[in-house]
Amino acid sequence: MSEQNQHGYSTTSSRGAQPLQEISDIKRIMERSSRFISLSGLSGIAAGLCALVGAYVADNILKDYYFKLDHGAAFTNNDFNLLEIKLVILAVGVLLASLILAFVFTWRRARQNHLPVWDLTARKLLWNLLLPLIAGGLFVLAMLQYGEWHFVAPACLVFYGLALVNGSKYTLSDVRYLGYSEIILGLISTQFIHSGLYFWGIGFGILHIIYGGIMWWKYERGQ
């Protein structure tokens, strides 16, 4: 056996290898050069927990606001602005926390497997995820610009689902099923516009945790 490098592809031996071995080597290098496989299930679980905490805090902020609205005589426009600012800060915080945690677990897994965390496949995956996400993010901001907040949660879920389906070509193909689930959930939530936060919590929290758990069980349990 010749020595294999981090991608499991042997570059030292020449002809004389078994054809079956050679074909499986070719297949492996094709996979490794086109898919980012270090994505950790724990990243999904961590992101899901962040989302659940975020949704819980947002729920409390909203309850406070409505409580004041119903009982407070001295409601001002200022209260509404404050609510908006609080929710935006919360959303950014949740996003950053989940991104950082997701990165940490994936980085850890790449290191365990002696794979580079930032390579051709990582760049491709990131670009294919970011394209629908940026489009979706701008779309949601434009909705908020016109005071249209009913469809914020559905739009987040649908665009995120599309991003995952798009990105699944460049990472573990299981991600595709998470994407489908997010799209379906997003479309369902368009019919329950007053429960947006709950759907948001299910999509970004619970689905992530379920998906991450399955991925961890499937690929990382033994490591």
Q: Which of 12, 76, 78, 145 binds other proteins (CB under 8 A)?
A: 12
- Least distance in Å: CB of 16 to other proteins? 9
Q: Is residue 11 a contact residue for other proteins (CB under 8 A)?
A: yes
Cα–Cα distances in Å, from 125 out to 107, 116, 145, 171, 191?
Answer: 15, 14, 30, 7, 32
How many residues make contact with other proteins (CB under 8 A)? 24
Q: Which of 99, 120, 135, 142 binds other proteins (CB under 8 A)?
A: 120
Please state, in angstroms and rounded to a whole number, the distance separating the CA atoms of residues 6 and 17.
19
- Least distance in Å: CB of 108 to other proteins? 20
Residue type present at position 30: M
**From 2-10, 72-80, 85-93, 195-203, span contacting other proteins (CB under 8 A):** 2-10
Please state, in angstroms and rounded to a whole number, the distance separating the CA atoms of residues 184 and 165.
12
Q: Which of 1, 20, 73, 74 binds other proteins (CB under 8 A)?
A: 20
Q: Is residue 114 a contact residue for other proteins (CB under 8 A)?
A: no
Residue type present at position 19: P
Of 38 and 189, which has the nearer Cβ to other proteins? 38
- Copy the structure tokens of residue 153: 């949660």
Show Cβ contacts of residue 13 under 8 Å, excluding neighbours closer than 6 positions: 2
Of 14 and 76, which has the nearer Cβ to other proteins? 14
DSSP state for residue 17 in the 8-state scheme: B
Handedness of CA 104, 58, 158, 132 (dihedral sign): negative
Q: Which of 95, 108, 119, 172 binds other proteins (CB under 8 A)?
A: 119
Of 6 and 81, which has the nearer Cβ to other proteins? 6
**From 12-20, 92-100, 102-110, 189-197, span contacting other proteins (CB under 8 A):** 12-20
Task: Name the residue with tokens 């945790």.
Answer: 209
- Least distance in Å: CB of 118 to other proteins? 10
Of 14 and 78, which has the nearer Cβ to other proteins? 14
Q: Is residue 68 a contact residue for other proteins (CB under 8 A)?
A: no
- Copy the structure tokens of residue 49: 């927990």
Q: Is residue 172 a contact residue for other proteins (CB under 8 A)?
A: no
CB 207 within 8 A of CB 161: no
Residue type present at position 66: Y
Which ranges constitute the DSSP H helices of 72-114?
A: 77-112
Residue type present at position 189: S
Which residue ranges make up the site for other proteins (CB under 8 A)? 5-7, 9-15, 19-20, 22-23, 25-26, 29-30, 32-34, 116, 119-120
